[in-house]
Amino acid sequence: MNYKILNIENTQVIRTVGLMTGTSMDGLDISIADIGLRKNKADFNVIRTTSIPYPNDLQFQIRQSVYDTGKDTNALDRDLGIWFADKLFEYLRSESIDNIELIGSHGQTIHHVSGQSSLQIGDPSFLAGKFNVPVISDFRTADIHAGGTGAPLMPRVDEWLFRNIDTAIITLNLGGIANVTLLPCINNGDVIGFDTGPGMALLDETYLEESKEGIDLGGELALKGNADKRLVNNWIKAPYFLELPPKSTGRDQFGIDWLADHRHELDSLTIVDKLATLSLFTAKSVFLACEDFIRDNKVEHVVISGGGIHHSCVMKYLVEQFSPIALVPSDDLGVSADGKEALGFAILAVAHVKGIPGNIPSVTGAKKALVLGKMTL
């Protein structure tokens, strides 16, 4: 085995970089942390967290690849890998951080069909070559090969970070797609996690279609509108919302094709009413996914992370839906809401080198718990 691996797999604390590019397709999240990991507990000290937006031309290419399934992604895989490595190098140099031991890179999801196939791009060999440390990537494939959905993978991280013996907790990540982890008290049942449906993807695509650039980042425009509850109540009857977990989804299901299929309904609304209605759709689909767990467990709060936490209209509707349960930003528990998934893939990278399984069969439906990811040296 490579001496670098022998050195870090027996190290109690590993300085690790986590890289995340999510279904929001807006840029690269970076988390740098000292991580100690045991089978049931993660200890961490975050050194730095940041987000670097994609340049317009690169974002355009990614969007083309996501929505044009016949497009060759080899060149973009290379270009994105180079961009990841260059941007991480620039950031570490600017912060005078030079003792990185390990990198976990999720990559940019281009394609995901639950339980069948999942493709993330951003060639990890450029990171390995530039930093001379092991890079762990391709986290979903092993779970899919074991009969699982391949996503979501954050429930294992949520279990390490938040599960306790006294209270049940729900964690919610609001990216392009929304996903939840349902954490019962320790020794009181299995952890469940799944994609609930749309997060910010439909809102972002709708705003982009109208404005031709940018997103309604803070949700100010959506707040000016009135949600069409009748439409939302119809949309929530779609087959995906009736499926029991394990399940996962993506922009393939809740992206521009969904908007095209519902254009006849949306075109009757003003832009502010469209955004308000889609905000309520996200919030209601999240709450309905959690309703049974809330009924059966003593849930005191929902821990929220992801870019959607900054969207005031979605948050308003979530507060209404979950009341009287408190919504708590993960920042309040010591985990950056914007950097949580990047931290998560840093932790999963450490799990890989220590031989600790990173999936949860009760979440993905995999036949067994597995060490996730592939190593590039």
Per-residue pLDDT tens listing for the chain (377 residues) = 343 554 566 678 999 999 999 888 889 999 999 999 987 889 999 999 999 999 999 998 998 898 876 667 899 999 999 999 999 999 999 999 989 999 999 999 998 888 899 999 999 999 999 999 999 999 999 999 999 999 999 999 999 999 998 899 999 999 999 999 999 998 899 999 999 999 999 999 999 888 866 678 799 999 999 999 999 999 999 999 999 999 999 998 999 999 999 999 999 999 999 999 999 999 999 999 999 999 999 898 999 999 999 999 999 999 999 999 999 999 999 999 999 999 999 999 999 999 999 999 999 999 999 999 999 99
Q: What pTM was computed for the model?
A: 0.94
Report pLDDT for 38.
Answer: 85
Six-digit token string for 318: 């979530």
Whether the domain at 3-151+338-376 and the domain at 154-333 fall into the same CATH topology: yes
pLDDT score recorded for residue 68? 77
Q: Which residues contact 230 (CB under 8 A, 6 or more apart)?
A: none
- pLDDT, position 7: 58
pLDDT for position 1: 36
Evaluate whether 223 touches 313 at the Cβ level (below 8 Å): yes
3-151+338-376 architecture in CATH? Answer: 2-Layer Sandwich (3.30)
Domain definitions of the chain by residue range: 3-151+338-376, 154-333
Q: What pLDDT is stored for residue 274 in this prediction?
A: 97
- What's the CATH fold of domain 154-333? Nucleotidyltransferase; domain 5 (3.30.420)
What pLDDT does residue 70 have? Answer: 62
What is the pLDDT, as a whole number, of residue 6?
Answer: 46
C-alpha triplet 71, 196, 251: angle, nearest 5°: 15
Q: Specify the pLDDT at position 294.
A: 96
pLDDT at 113: 85
* Cα distances (Å, whole numbers) of residue 165 to 109, 172, 184, 344: 35, 20, 9, 22
Quick one: pLDDT at residue 146? 97
Written as six digits, the tokens of 313 are 């209209």
